[in-house]
Amino acid sequence: MNSLCVFTEDFFNYRFGPEHPFNPLRLQLWLELLQDAGLLEKHQMVHPRPATMAELLAVHSEDYLRAVQQAGAGVEPVPGLERYGLGTDDNPVFPHMHEAAALITGATLVAAELVMEGKAEHALNMAGGLHHAHRGRASGFCIYNDAAVAIAWLQRRYGIRVAYIDTDAHHGDGVQAIFYDDPDVLTISFHEDGRYLFPGTGSVGEMGKGDGLGYCLNFPLEPFTEDDSLLEVMDAVLPQVLRAFRPDLIISQHGCDGHRLDPLTHLALTGRSYREIPRLVHRLAHQFAGGRWVALGGGGYDIWRVVPVAWAMLWAEMADRQLPSSIPQRWLNRWQSRSPEKLPLVFTGNIEEDPPIPRRAEISDKNTATLNRLCQNHLLMYTVFPAARGGLWGY
């Protein structure tokens, strides 16, 4: 079955300012790389629609939505914006902010509907993945939480169980918080340890509450974690958990700011991880969710060397397309003069031969210890997941 990409150049209007690290130019670079590489055809692209106020209100508070609308309209000063997380260095106000954020959120809704209605097996919203937004406040460059809005919509319309997998370097705190007591939403986040990185959450002990106890899994990674260690723990956690939960659909967030070139984080991943993560999620979607898979973007702040390539590999995996052996010369000719860095020549990047990070064994051992703590904490899951019987981890 086909895979579809929900996209419009109007996504570029989600822009906090010329000096802000969340630069929509990364979407243009990614899109043109796909097109120049012959990986994306016009018939695979679907135009989004804005999320309605009713759809947004399923997740966000009415006073927060009103504050976003008023601030973006710029008609009059809006008092107390800071309590909504707006007007800060991370989330400065910009014109038509509500419209831009509602369109990105609507794109994720369109992607979810395409999959659930059988019009696509997999669907992508590369502008989505704004996982830090909370019910009543913006956070971490995120105004509306498109993944959470889509999950709430899917629950209301189809009554399904959703697994949300987040591999951004930053913890997926907003999605987790919104569904923290919901046993029909499984949130799983692999991220840099919150002791060293925003938003400071995502410890192993955050497991959900009430009926949702056990339906929240967090894996805080040690700074300078490399590919082998991340992929080993993902492969240890995800198949077991999804086998027990049996989701009807998987939503995955693919921030690529864990790359060793990213300027805002401290992980040490390479292009290999951003090739292998989509492969793993793709396989698990077919194994446990009937192939139903919605993928979203997220963080990524080396917009020249990392983001376009990592996200091109994501789309190629979703669409079952073979990547060319090298980056198209047309794309390089168009963008190299504007790039402050030498652009990559191949899709996995040119850094695979870099020397390993010091303390590799120590870092890997610490991640293994975290895996053991996670397993022990979730042994109680056999009472939460009736299908697991012997325990979520197979004991």
273: closest CA among 243, 233, 304, 302?
Answer: 233
What are the structure tokens assigned to 70, written together?
A: 């008023």
DSSP assignment of 236-286 equals: HHHHHHHHHH--SEEEEE---TTBTT-SS----B-HHHHHHHHHHHHHHHH
Q: Is 263 exposed, middle or buried (0-12, 13-18, 19+ CB in 10 A)?
A: exposed
Other Cβ atoms less than 10 A from the Cβ of 285: the count is 26
Contact of 292 with 197, CB cutoff 8 Å? no
- The answer to whether residue 132 is catalytic is yes
The residues, ordered by sequence, that sit 6+ positions from 244 with a Cβ below 8 Å of its Cβ are: 381, 385, 387, 388, 392
In whole angstroms, how far apart are CA 239 and each of 6, 147, 160, 203?
28, 22, 19, 21
User: For the chain, give me the number of helices (H) and strands (E)?
Assistant: 11, 8
Q: Is 369 exposed, middle or buried (0-12, 13-18, 19+ CB in 10 A)?
A: exposed
Instruction: Write down the catalytic residue from 60, 98, 122, 132.
Output: 132
What are the structure tokens assigned to 119, written together?
A: 């019009």
What are the structure tokens assigned to 135, written together?
A: 């019910």
Q: What distance in Å separates the CA atoms of residue 367 and residue 393, rounded to the nearest whole number?
A: 17
What are the structure tokens assigned to 246, written together?
A: 């049996």
In whole angstroms, how far apart are CA 167 and each of 84, 189, 218, 258, 389?
26, 6, 11, 8, 28
Q: Which residues are catalytic?
A: 132
